[in-house]
Amino acid sequence: SQTIHQWPATLVQPVGSPLSLECTVEGTSNPNLYWYRQAAGRGLQLLFYSVGIGQISSEVPQNLSASRPQDRQFILSSKKLLLSDSGFYLCAWSGVNYGYTFGSGTRLTVV
């Protein structure tokens, strides 16, 4: 069966520090991968999606970047965090059938 792993679960980082969130998928190949963010009082905003290794599409301009070094690995990064980067970050994958499967999320607090 397919599983998705996302870590860490919580993270507190100072302004200006780097960020690296990792997401891995098991039990499937060539998945579409997504990074979403849920900011306080807001819905789920798509940040990046990837249809294959090295293929990244950005939905909104921001202080973040994404990479897909392996088929089932998706990384969200920042060189210098801003206060506005705080939020709940979700990784998701989709296969041949409709619907996403989400990871358990990372609560990022930038202080």
**Residues found near other proteins in the complex (CB under 8 A):** 6, 9, 32, 34, 36, 42-46, 49, 51, 59, 88, 90, 92, 94, 96, 98-105, 107
CB of 80 to other proteins, least distance (A): 26
13 near 110, Cβ under 8 Å?
Answer: yes
Amino acid (1-letter code) at residue 34: Y
CB of 40 to other proteins, least distance (A): 12
Q: Which CB sits closer to other proteins, 9 or 15?
A: 9
34 near 49, Cβ under 8 Å?
Answer: yes
Amino acid (1-letter code) at residue 96: V
For residue 100, how many C-alpha atoms fall within 13 Å in the half-sphere facing its CB? 15
CB of 77 to other proteins, least distance (A): 20
